[in-house]
Structures are given as structure tokens and as C-alpha cells.
Structure 1
Amino acid sequence: MIRLSGRFRSALIIGGQGIRSRKLRTFLSMISLFLGVLAVVTVQAGAETAKTLRLADLELHIGKDGTRQMYIPSMPDAMDAALTTVAGKADAVGVMGYQAIIGEPNVVPINQGAAPFDNTDGGYYGPPMQMDCNPMTGECRPIKDEQAAQPTRGQAVELVLQGLTGDIRQFRPFRPVAGNWLDFSGDPSYSPRLVLNKEAAKGFTRYQIPAEMRVEGATANPTPRIVGVVDDGNSQPTAYVRVDEMRNWMPKTTANQMYGPGMQLLFAPTAGETEALVVRKITALGVSRDMLHVETINARKDIAEELAIIRWIFLGMAGLVLLIGVAGILNVGLATVGERVEEFALRRAVGTPRSLLAGIVLAETLLTGLLTAAAAIGLGVVAIDVGAGLFGSRVPQLQDLTFPWQAGVAGVIAGLVAGLLGGLIPAIRAARIPIATVMRA
């Protein structure tokens, strides 16, 4: 149990009695200080909330901090070795990218190039075209075949297809929207199971799409089954599938013809042995160690540097507002000491130390600062709860949002600092009141 010294305890008791006897003046002091403390709490809460939301988005796109990622070059033997090594591992996942079209055959997809459905002008991965290049100038221009039959736009959608060897959610925590996630237990099905992201789900909601999937290099067009929808933070239509279910339909010569720079491997921080085994197998096939790009994800550090400057700018502005509150406490404190001159002189006459008189004044201002901080923090907690309830259905990131404890600590510190600065001069003035003043009274 914490024991308070006699003077400190006396200062708190007398200071509390002073606040209770001058309720209106204390309330006016709190009003002048409230906006300043609330500004500090708001800035700190906003910064921590922005950091949390930004980190959540980065984890969806990149992965959790500490995750090790490796890219395998597009060499069939190397990719097969990596795939068989991480298959079935709980601490590692391989990702292979393909381009797929689901829907009517021999038509141009609604979102050609796997473009977002609200921007169907086509993306980077458009249809191939022949180019005529000048060897002297290096300029190239597309060759237009006026006689070639132009395919018509039909009921088909184009997707980025991510083939997985295991559950990627341990590295990229996708938010479930509907249905289930992929089941990696059991033998691969000849009807590939797909989990769509929210953007891909738009296409199947807006249009009547036949269940026929075409992937370049496949021996036939399989019939996919959509089993769920997730929010992966990606604006491009994407579907996730077991890679072994896709390879059922692709001969070995084309199974590794991927969309993208190469096969991506994700390792847990504890998967050092699995990572080392992959490296040994691939280098044994003649692949140079320099061709294996390995890095550790550290998204929290990156966003902390980005948000630090903005946070300090807004904290500086909040500090200016806080100074206005300090000036209000200082003004009220000086007026209070002026009214209590005879009381303090009488206390000095009966032996009260100067330090205790100063402590009484400081205790009042510090308690006022703490009460103001409690009010500002309470308002912040209520505002975040109400905001999460109102907008949680529209913005999934806000559903689990809670008041950050860092903002509460910042509010308490701001209240104490304001109370200390606002009460320092009145406390010194109270301590210097001469004993002779009681004789004049």
C-alpha cells in the first residue's frame, strides 16, 4: 500500500476542500482547459487509430510483421522443388498467380484485363497485340488488323487467380465476408473451389456468369465452385484456390507458367528450418543464391516513420490550444490566491510551512487538470464507441475499434502538465505571502 507523506496528504485534502467550496470557479477552469486536453486526446487517438487501420491494410496486402517472404524465379524445376517442400507445412505457404476468365467462351470479359468493375476500361494485363518496331529508332506501334473479327463483350469476368499451398491467413489476416475459407485437408478436387475477394464478388453479383473457367495452358475448362468471400484489401478482382486443384488441369509443362514475377513463399518467424531446406534444394538445382530474394516484413516501422511527422504537427497545434487552457487556470489561480491572502497569512502565523501553502494551490490545479482529463477521455471513449457502431457496417476496419490506451495516458499527462504550469505562479505567490498580512486584516 502506498503511503503519502503528511504534507502531501494535507495538501491534497485541503486542495480538495478548496475545489468543493469553489465549484463554479473550478468548473470555469475546467472549461478553459477542456478543449486543450481534448485536442491532445483526439490527436493521440487519431494517430493510434490511423496507425492501427493502416497496419491492418498493410497486413492484408503485404503480411504481418516478422513474416519472411521469398520469391522463386520462374524456373520449372525450382518452382516444383519449392512447391513440394512447403506443401502441407503449417509454418509456410506458397503462392502462385494465374490469370483466369470465368463465364461464356469466346467473348471479351466485362472487366478485360482483370480491371475493377467500376472501371472496366481494362487494366495493365490487357489482350495481346502485334507490334511493329523500327530497328533504327526503337519506336513501336500496334498493328491493327482491320479484317480480324473483333470478339464481342459477353457474360464473363476476368480474375487474378492466387493458387495456395496452405492457409495464407496466418500471414495475411483476410476478413471473412460470407461463406467459408478453403479447406486444405483431403485430396484435391477436380472442381476447383474458389474464395473471391469483395471486388470479384461484385462481378458475380451484378451479372449472370456461367460456371466455366478458362486458364491459359489448362487441358480443359473446369467448373469452379465459389465457397466464400473475403476482404483482402485488394481493389483488383481476385480469387483464391488450392494450387493442387488447379494443377489437376494443367500438364507439367504449363503448370509453372505463372502470372507475375515468380512464385512467392511466406514463412513464419519460426520456420527457419523450412526456409533453409527450400534454399538448399533450389541452389542444388543450379539456381544462384543471389537470385533468391528474401526479406522480412516490417510494416509497423515503415508506417511509424510516415505518421510521426503528421502526429507532431497536430500535437503542436493541440499544444497551442492547451496553452489557452493553462492561461485560464493561471488567471483563476491568481484571483483565488488574491482572495485567500488573509487565510494563507493566518496559516503562516500558526506555523504552516511555505511549501505546504504552495502544495495546497498546486493540489487544486492538479486535481482540476485530472478531472478535466477524465472528462476529455470519457468523451473520447464514447465518441469512438458511437462511431464504431454507426460506421462499422460500412467500414469493416472500424468494427473492432477501441479507444487506444496511449490517448488516455496522453490526456492524463496533458491535464497534469496544464495543472502544474497553471498553478506554479499562484503557488509561488501564496508561499511568499508575509505573516504581517494577517495583522492588517
Structure 2
Amino acid sequence: MFRLSGRLRSALIIGGQGIRSRKLRTFLSMISLFLGVLAVVTVQAVAETANTLRLADLELHVGKDGTRQMYVPPMADAMDAALTSVAGRPGAVGMMQYQAIIGEPNVLPINQGAAPFDNNDGGYYGPAMEMYCDPVTGGCRPVQNEAAAQPKGQAIELVLQGLTGDVRQFRPFRPVAGDWLDFGGEPSYSPRLVLNKEAAKGFSRYRIPAEMRVEGATANPTPRIVGVIDDGNSQPTAYVRVDEMRNWMPRTTANQMYGPGLQLMFAPSAGETEALVMRKLTALGVPADMLHVETVNARKNIAGELAIMRWIFLGMAALVLLIGAAGILNVGLATVGERVEEFALRRAVGTPRSLLAGIVLAETLLTGLLTAAAAIGLAVVALDVGAGLLGSRVPQLQDMTFPWQAGVAGVIAGLVAGLLGGLIPAIRAARIPIATVMRA
């Protein structure tokens, strides 16, 4: 069992009695120190929260740390070989990206180019504008193509992500409603779709017929919406089993897609599957310089930028903490001045100088700990209230807990401030001569 030494125990007991006997002065010391400790706790808590939120956002878009990614060039044989190699294998998923329009035929979609519904101004997401430039005059004017002449109707354009397996093991999408894709059993001829929140917004605003058009498909299938997830993407996106889409697409067009190519994701434990894919692609004549695997290391990528911000704000918090330590120092010096006769009497009855210094230090350290506890408690309540108010706008905050690193930083800050503020008064108390009691 851990036991305190006699002098340390005596210093803590007498120091606690001193705090109880001078409650107002202790309260004033805590006020001067409270803002400094609260600043340190707040900076640490905000830094850890920002790190968690930023990492969660990167995991949604890029993948969890350790995920290995590879892009297969758009070569029909290579893509078929890669898809068959990862289909049904644990720790490996392939993703193919298409553009799809769901709704009335022969009309322009409401959000051309799969644009977000609240920012549907064409722009980056809209179709390219054709221009005609007169070689004689040099003047240019937009030319309306045949598709642009179509009227707008009840149709929505979205990005269609074809999956060979459950991608949530790499990108932890948050469920909103319904179910996720079921990759067991035979592929259905009615493609099952899971929408992201932006795509679901369009279907909730407009009455859209269940007819899906994908370039190169032999017919327009009837999709079924089975769920909604939050993937952190502002562009309308739907997720589908890739084999259900390829039921409607001949081999010559099944590999015609948008984006950089077929994306493969491997878990660190899926080394055999990764090696198998590399061997097959190399055997099919894919150049080695087009095959490279990258490992996701999101935490390392954001560590530098967050560390700079953290140190800047910690420096500002340290200045506030020093002001609080100066307040404890002033109160401590005044307290020692009032207790000169008490300390001199203790010296006269044999109390060691180290114990006198320990009594003063114990008071300031206990004051620092009490202040740290108050600051941490306020920070915990503020985080809970903030998460409750902003949880609907920032879903990541709903499961956020108070970071223990901020609590440790607050305790350390309180002890350091108590030590800095009580060191000089402790030295002065230890140097009080015994003769002082005679003058009393």
C-alpha cells in the first residue's frame, strides 16, 4: 500500500487546514488562476476534438489509416481480372464510378452534372459549354447542343459507385436510414441503391419516377432505394453492387466509367489478395509503372498542421496561466507576511525548514488542483452542451466525449501554476528566523 512520508503528510494536512481557515483568500487565488487553467484545458480539448473530427472526415473520403489503395487503368481485361480477384474476398473491395440519371426520360436532370441541390448553378458540376469562334471576326458565342435543348424534367443525376463488397470496413459511413447493401446471394436485376444524404435530399424534394439511365446500358433498369448513409460528400452519390449494374451492360461498355479508373482497397491483412491482383495485372501486360499501391496515413498528414495551431494557442494560454501564477504569488507573499509569528513559533518548537516550505507549497498546489478540477468540470459541461446544440449539424459531435488529454493538461497546468506561485513564498517562510517569535 502506498503511504505518504511523515513530513509530506503533515504538510498536506496543515496546508489543507490553512485553505479552510482562509476561504476568501483561497477563492481569490483560484479566480486569478482559473482563466489560465481553463485556457490550457480549452486549447487541448479543442485540438483533440479538431483532430478527431478532421481524421473522421478524412476516413470518410480517403479511408482508415493503414488502408492500401491501388488504381487499375481502364483496360477491359485488366479491370475484369481485378474485379474477379477481389469479389467475395475478405479485406478487399473494388469501386467503379458511373454517372446515372434517375427519373423521366428525354429530359434534362434537375441538377445537371450531379450538382448539389442547394448550389445548382452548373459551375464545376455542370456540363461543358460548347463555343463557336468566328475565324474572320474572332468573336465567340456559346452554341446550344442537342441535349441542352431538352426541357428540364423530374430527373436527378448522381454519381453511381459500384462496389464489389462492403466498403465500410475502409470508409466508415454513418447510417441515416434503412439498410446497407447486402452482398450475399445472386445479383438482382433491379439494382439496389444506398443514397448519401445529398442524393436523398433530391428524392425527398421531387417526385422522381423509378427509371435509371446509365450510358452504355442495354436497357433502363428499375432501381430500388434501400437505405441512406452519410458519406461526407456534398455531391449526390448512390452506392450499388457492381455486379447488379453489369447485368445491364455488355462487356464492351461495362468498363466505361468516370473517374481515375477502378479503385481497389486492401486491408493490411489482405496481402495475399493484393499480390494475386498484381500478378494477374502484370501477366495481362499492364505496365509496372501504372501499378503502385499507396498506404493511407491520414493521421500523419494532418499532424503537422494541427500541431502548429496547437502550439500557437498553447503559447497564448501559457501567458494567461503565468498571470494566474503571479496572482497566487502575490496572495502567497501576503499570507506568509501575516503568518510570520506562526512560522517562527513552529521553528522554535523544532519544525524543520523544509516542512515550513512544504506547508506553503501544499496550500498553493492544492489551490492549483482545486482550480484545475473546476476548469475541467466547466469544460466537460461546455462540450456536452455544445455537442447537444451542434450535433444535428455536425454528426461527428454526437458521439464525442471529453478528451482525457485535456484533463491531464489541466491538472498539470494547475500544479505548475501552484508550484511557480508558491515557490518564492515557501522559500521566504523557510527563512523566517526563530528570533521573530520573541518580537511578537
TM range (shorter): over 0.9
CA distance in 2, matches of 1:32, 1:110: 60
1:175 aligned partner: 174
Correspondence 1:395 to 2:394: yes
RMSD: 1.9
Distance of 2:88 and 2:319 partners within structure 1? 58
In structure 2, relative to structure 1, the CA distance for the partners of 1:103 and 1:27 (3 Å cut) is same
Tell me the distance in 2 between the aligned counterparts of 1:288 and 1:133: 41
The yes-or-no answer on 1:17 pairing with 2:14 is no
Residue 58 of structure 1 corresponds to 58
Give, in whole Å, the separation in 1 of the partners of 2:177 and 2:363: 56
Partner Cα distance (2:335, 2:69) in 1: 65
Does 122-131 or 420-429 show the bigger shift? 122-131
Measured in 2, the distance between the counterparts of 1:129 and 1:142 equals 10
Q: Where in structure 2 are the equivalents of 1:29-108 lying within 5 Å? A: 29-108=29-108
Q: How big is the shift at 1:123?
A: 4.6
Distance 1:341 1:38, change over 3 A: same
Residues 1:202 and 2:212 are matched in the alignment: no
The size of the alignment, in residue pairs, is 438
Per-residue CA deviation, residues 277-327 of structure 1 (Å, 9 max, x unaligned), is: 110110111112210131100111111111111111111111111111111
Matches within 5 A, 1:199-278: 199-278=198-277
- TM-score after normalising by structure 2: 0.96
Q: TM-score, normalised by structure 1?
A: 0.96
For 2:275 and 2:371, how far apart are their aligned partners in 1?
Answer: 57
What letter matches 2:80 in structure 1? Answer: D
| CA distance in structure 2 between the aligned counterparts of 1:167 and 1:140, rounded to whole angstroms | 53
Q: Which residues of 2 match residues 270-349 of structure 1 at below 5 A?
A: 270-349=269-348
Deviation at 1:390, TM superposition (A): 2.5
Report the more deviating stretch, 284-293 or 147-156.
Answer: 147-156
Q: Quote the Cα distance in structure 1 between the aligned partners of 2:134 and 2:296.
A: 44
Q: 1:341 to 1:146 in 2, by over 3 A?
A: closer
Is residue 370 of structure 1 aligned with residue 349 of structure 2?
A: no
- Distance in 1 (CA, whole Å) between partners of 2:361 and 2:55 is 42
Other structure's SS at 2:176 match: strand
User: Which string of whole-angstrom CA distances, capped at 9 and with x for unpartnered residues, describes residues 44-73 of structure 1?
Assistant: 001100111111111101110111111111
Please give the secondary structure, in 2, of the residue aligned with 1:260. Answer: strand
Amino acid at match of 2:38: L
Amino acid at match of 1:154: G
CA distance in 2, matches of 1:297, 1:7: 55
Identity of aligned residues (%): 87
Counterpart contact for 1:114–1:123, Cα < 8 Å:
no
Contact (CA 8 Å) 1:112, 1:123: kept in 2 or not?
no
Q: 1:394, CA displacement in angstroms?
A: 3.0
Q: Deviations over 1:382-410 (max 9, x none)?
A: 11112222322332111101100000000
Contact 2:130 2:145 in 1 (8 A): no
Helix, strand or coil for the counterpart of 1:100?
Answer: strand
The CA distance in 1 between the partners of 2:49 and 2:318, in whole Å, is 20
Cα contact 2:108–2:148 (8 A) shared by 1: no
Aligned equivalents of 1:131, 1:253: Cα separation in 2: 32
- For residues 149 and 331 of structure 1, do their structure 2 counterparts lie closer, same or farther at Cα, with a shift above 3 Å needed? closer
The alpha carbon displacement at 1:20 in A equals 1.1
- Consecutive unaligned residues of structure 1, counting only runs of 5 or more, are none
Check 1:336–1:147 CA distance in 2 against 1; reply closer, same or farther (3 A cut).
Answer: closer
CA distance in 2, matches of 1:42, 1:58: 24
Which position in structure 2 is the counterpart of 1:114?
A: 114
Q: Partner residue of 2:26?
A: 26
Distance 1:250 1:159 in 2: 18
Q: CA–CA distance in 2 between the matches of 1:87 and 1:215? A: 22
> Cα offset for 1:420?
0.1
d(CA) in 1 for partners of 2:384, 2:332: 36
Q: What 5-or-longer segments of structure 2 have no aligned partner?
A: none
Question: Quick one: distance in 1 between partners of 2:140 and 2:51?
Answer: 46
Query: Residue 157 of structure 2 aligns to a residue in which SS?
Result: strand
Aligned partners of 1:131 and 1:140 also within 8 Å? no
Question: 1:379 & 1:326 partners in 2: Cα distance?
Answer: 20
Counterpart amino acid of residue 150 in structure 1: A
SS at match of 1:433: coil
3-state SS of 1:403 partner: coil
Which residue identity does 1:281 align to in structure 2? Answer: K
C-alpha distance 123-195 of structure 1, shift in aligned 2 (>3 A): farther
Alignment of 1:413-424 (within 5 A): 413-424=412-423
**CA separation of 1:133 and 1:80: change in aligned 2, threshold 3 A:** farther
Q: Which residue of 1 aligns with 2:165?
A: 166
CA distance in 2, matches of 1:7, 1:149: 88
Secondary structure, in 3 states, of the residue corresponding to 1:178? strand
| Deviation of the 1:152 alpha carbon | 0.9
Partners of 1:277 and 1:130 lie apart in 2 by 45
- What is the CA deviation profile of residues 195-217 of structure 1, one whole-angstrom value per residue up to 9, with x for unaligned ones? 00011111101111111100000
* Contact 1:33/1:369 (8 A) holds in 2: yes
Aligned AA (2:179): N
